[in-house]
Amino acid sequence: MWNSNVEELEHYEHNDVDESFAKQQLAPRARSEQSKLLGLPWNKREDTLSVVFPLKSTNTTKRGILSTLANVYDPLGFVSPTMLEGKLIYRKACKQKTAWDAALPTEVTELWDKFEHNLPSSVSMQRSLVAFQEPLNHVTIHVFGDASGKGVCAAVYTVVSQESGTTQGLLTAKSRVAKQGLTIPRLELIAGHMAVNLAVNVRDSLTNLPVDPMIHCC
């Protein structure tokens, strides 16, 4: 079985092939709009990938908060800003001298409850970098890095030029909690280093494409 965002290509069942009665009864006949791609939910009709957040409420303990954060699968960093906020709350929880499964102080509990209440069920992004089925003129990679006393981050955007128009979009991002005790200039250097590493990984993955020199903004 295979999947495609083009409906005509999904007719993989051949009528001239003999099937057992069990296969005829159990094989899905209706085309499902949802599938999985690289572990992420893929809506084939809209051609979008989604990052899904846990729906159940978390026990407000160190273990419960960490478990919730770890259950968010986001390999491309689409929800990095949201996850950074959750990680900051977890760091605040770790500063409390409480047991791993003990209830946290009211201040931390209220922060986490508000964070969890405001989480969407999912966040979706377009899968394809291009909007038109035609050759690429050129691809520009724009890399941004920034830092504060709370966190450092980097994001990579692509601008794809084609005959029928230009398409822009977020390709990947990354964030982490800022190490305490470091100055802002030092954290800015860390963000710049993160941005360069992320950009190089993207550039190396876009082989055989007309990629222009990268543009860095830190």
H/E segment holding residue 156? strand 151-162
SS3 state at 20: coil
CA distance linking residue 215 with residue 144, whole number of Å? 9
Query: Domains (ranges, CATH) in the chain?
Result: 7-50 (no CATH), 51-125 (no CATH), 130-217 (3.10.20.370)
Low-confidence ranges of the chain (pLDDT < 70): 1-33, 214-218
What pTM does this model have?
0.79
Tens digit of pLDDT for each residue in 61-106? 999 999 999 999 999 999 999 999 999 999 999 998 889 999 999 9
Q: Are 164 and 137 in contact (CB under 8 A)?
A: no
The pairing of strands 136-147 and 122-126 is: unpaired
- The β-bridge partners of 155 are 144, 173
**Structure confidence at residue 14 (pLDDT):** 45
For the chain, what's the residue count?
Answer: 218
